[in-house]
Amino acid sequence: MTILVTGGAGFIGANFVYHMLEKYPSYKVICLDALTYAGNMETLATAMENPQFIFIKGDIADREAVYKVFESHKPDWVVNFAAESHVDRSITNPDIFLRTNVIGTGVLMDACRKYGTSRFHQVSTDEVYGDLPLDRPDLFFTEETPIHTSSPYSASKASADLLAQAYHRTFKLPVTISRCSNNYGPYHFPEKLIPLMIANALNDKSLPVYGKGENIRDWLYVLDHCVAIDLILHKGKVGEVYNIGGHNERTNLDVVKTILKELNKPESLINYVTDRPGHDMRYAIDPTKINNALGWLPSTSFDEGIKKTIKWYLDNRKWWENILAGEYQGYYEKMYAGR
C-alpha cells in the first residue's frame, strides 16, 4: 500500500505520517509539501530516517509536479491535508487560500482520475458549517448541517468539499471527506491559539485574547483525529462525509486560563484585543455517525490532552523557538538538499 499525504510537513499531516508509519510498517508513505511558512521539515526529521517514507517538495496546485509524483509513485490512496488554514491570514490575503485549497484539490483529484487512485480523502473542517449560538448548547453540527461559511478560509474549504462531492458524482471518483473540530497537540504551528499561548506564557509575554474570550471551540487531540482518518480510509464508505469531534468544548478564555495554571503563570498576562471580523462564536460537532459506522470516539479528554501538549512544548523548546526565530525555513536546504 502506497499513501500520498499532502501537507505532511504541517501540524496534522505530520502527526498522521507518524501514526501511519508506526501502525502500518509495510505501507509506503509519500509526503508532498510546498514548505510554505507553516510547513516545517524539522517536524519530519524522524520520519526521514524511515526507509518507508519519501519526502517530495512540491505545490499541489502545480499540475505538472503533481502528475510527476503520481507517475513515479502511483499512490493507492491520497490524503489531502495540504491547505492554507489560518483565518486571519485568509482575511488579509484570500488569493492564496483559493489557489491551494480549491485549485490544488482539483489538481489532486484530476491526478487520481488519471492514474487510477483507489481513494481520495479530503481533510476538511467544521468551519464550513459556520457557527452555533452560545445560548443553544443543545445544538451540534451534523453531516446534514447546511454549509454556511464565515471567512475566506472556510469558504475555500467548503468549495473544495463541494468539488470533491461533484467529482464523486460526475466521475465516480472514490472520495471520502472528514470535517474536524479544532485540533491541538504536538507540532502545532505557534501562530495558533494553544501553542501561541504556551510560547508566550513561557516567555512571560502578553497572551492576546480576541474580544472577551467567549468564543467556544470543540477541541480534538490530534492523535485522535489521525485514528479517525485511518478508520475512514480502511473501513469508511466511499462518497460519505464524516464529522470528527472532540466532545471537549471550552471557551477561548478557559483554554488560556488552563494553560496559565498548568505553567504556574499569572492571569495578568492575558491581554484582551479587538475581535476579528466575522468571528464564529461556537463550534461543536456531533460524531454520532462515525461512532455508529466505524466505532470511533475520541479517547483523549481536554484535561489530559492539554497536559500532554504542554509537556511536549516544554520538552521540545528548540522546535518552536526555531520557528519563532525563522530558522526552521532553512532546515530543508540545510539537511535534505540533494537527498
CA–CA separation, 80 vs 121, rounded Å? 6
Q: Which of 42, 59, 129, 153 is catalytic?
A: 153
Which of 257, 247, 334, 339 lies closest to 290, judged by CA? Answer: 247
Q: Which of 127, 218, 280, 286 is catalytic?
A: 127
Q: In the numeric block, which cell numbers belong to residue 91?
A: 482575511
Q: Which of 84, 126, 131, 249 is catalytic?
A: 126
8 A C-beta contact, residue 101 and residue 155: no
The alpha carbons of the chain give a radius of gyration, in whole angstroms, of 19
CA–CA separation, 208 vs 224, rounded Å? 28
CA–CA separation, 157 vs 90, rounded Å? 11
With a CB cutoff of 8 Å and minimum separation 6, the contacts of 181 are: 126, 217, 218, 219, 220, 244, 245, 246, 283, 284, 285
Cα 252 to the center of its chain, rounded Å: 19
8 A C-beta contact, residue 56 and residue 31: yes
The reply to whether 127 belongs to the active site is: yes
The one-character DSSP state at 285 is B
Residue ranges of E strands in the chain? 2-6, 28-33, 53-57, 77-80, 119-125, 175-180, 182-184, 207-210, 216-221, 241-244, 249-251, 270-273
The reply to whether 210 belongs to the active site is: no
Which of 306, 156, 178, 185 lies closest to 231, judged by CA? Answer: 178
Helical axes 152-171 vs 104-115, angle rounded to 10°: 20
The reply to whether 262 belongs to the active site is: no
Residues with a known catalytic role? 126-127, 153
